[in-house]
Structure 1
Amino acid sequence: MPGTASPAEAAEQAVPVRPDEVGLAFVQAWARPDADDAAWRTQCTAYATDRFAKVLSTSTSGAVAASRAVGDGEIIERTESEAIVRVATDGGAVLVRLLPERGRWRVDGIEPEQSSSLAGASRG
């Protein structure tokens, strides 16, 4: 039918593109402390840079202090080479660092907002 996307096209359209969308999607996958560790790692690393995927490979879902995102992603800083996105969770806000890798924004780190050094320069 004209105007109907194939399943592959629909999946591609659903992939988050903007840094705030990617940051939020990552936090939604990450903030699940009761998730099976293998499934959690697979879902989180889908949004991660190669470097951060290695960090996640030794992490566990039970170490996450949040169980859900409670707001949208908010871009705190953005350049062509980096973005910092704030996402509120039920365990406190987090700052997500994103870098462009393989043609998409990918997560390269996450820290609690109150102890973060990620956006220190912008917060003065």
Structure 2
Amino acid sequence: MVLAVVVFAVVGVARVLAGPEDRTTGGLQPGVASTTTESPHSVEGDDGVVEPAPTATAALDPGPSLSPGTQQIERVAKDFAEEWLNRTAKADAWHAALVPNTTRTLAEKLEGVDPVVVPAERLTGAATVVPQGSGLAEVSYPVDSGTLVLRLVVEEGRWLVDGVDWERG
């Protein structure tokens, strides 16, 4: 019983000395923002990791060096997205339009795909760019049926799309 009183006294004194805690920020000091984002591949539940909110202006570490005059990541992603959404194109023309902005690996995976299977028709908002590491980023676009998620990598001195995913909205 005496031990319990001592523990409560120590905790009480520590709280008084630490000052009031702002419960709305989870104990962070006022003015310190805390935001978390759900990765499209995350499992349900909080993993306890705090990540910055995605922004279109996030500084990207291109990792491997980019060639002079290389298109910005947003331009490459938008060019790819607009061509990917062109469901009325013939398969060969659709593939040929995607190739300039894709890695060889992705170009091979998309070969022979009929664009009619693309699950969206148009972009409905601006891109969100989330750096994923050195020379790697994820660009998301809201589309009429969900979210188009593109993985871009620096390859051959420029940003190229290396992965395509779609999340139902």
Scaled to the shorter chain, the TM-score interval is 0.7 to 0.9
Q: Which has the larger radius of gyration?
A: 2
Which residue, out of 91, 99, 102, partners 2:156?
Answer: 102
The 1:109–1:67 alpha-carbon spacing in structure 2 relative to 1, beyond 3 Å, is: same
Using structure 2 for the length normalisation, give the TM-score: 0.54
Contact residue 94 and residue 111 of structure 1 kept, 8 A: yes
SS of the residue corresponding to residue 97 of structure 1 reads: strand
Is 1:85 the counterpart of 2:85? The answer is: no
RMSD (Å) for aligned C-alpha atoms: 2.0
* 1:75 matches 2:129: yes
Which structure has greater helix proportion?
Answer: 1
1:61-72 alignment to 2 at 5 Å?
Answer: 61-72=115-126
Long gaps (5+) in structure 1: 1-14, 116-124
Q: Does 1:52 align with 2:102?
A: no
Amino acid at match of 1:40: W
TM-score (norm: length of structure 1) = 0.72
Residue 16 of structure 1 deviates from its aligned partner by 7.3
The 1:16–1:113 alpha-carbon spacing in structure 2 relative to 1, beyond 3 Å, is: farther
Q: Which runs of 5+ in 2 are unaligned?
A: 1-68
Give the deviation of 1:60 after TM superposition: 1.4
Residues of 2 paired with 1:22 and 1:16: CA distance?
Answer: 10
Q: How far did 1:108 drift?
A: 0.5
Q: CA deviation at 1:32?
A: 1.4
Question: Which AA in structure 1 matches 2:88?
Answer: D
Give the SS at the match of 2:145: coil
Q: Check if 1:38 corresponds to 2:92.
A: yes
How far apart, CA to CA, are the structure 1 residues paired with 2:159 and 2:112?
22
1:23 aligns with 2:77: yes
Segment of structure 1 superposing worse, 106-115 or 43-52:
106-115
Deviation (angstroms), 1:80: 2.5
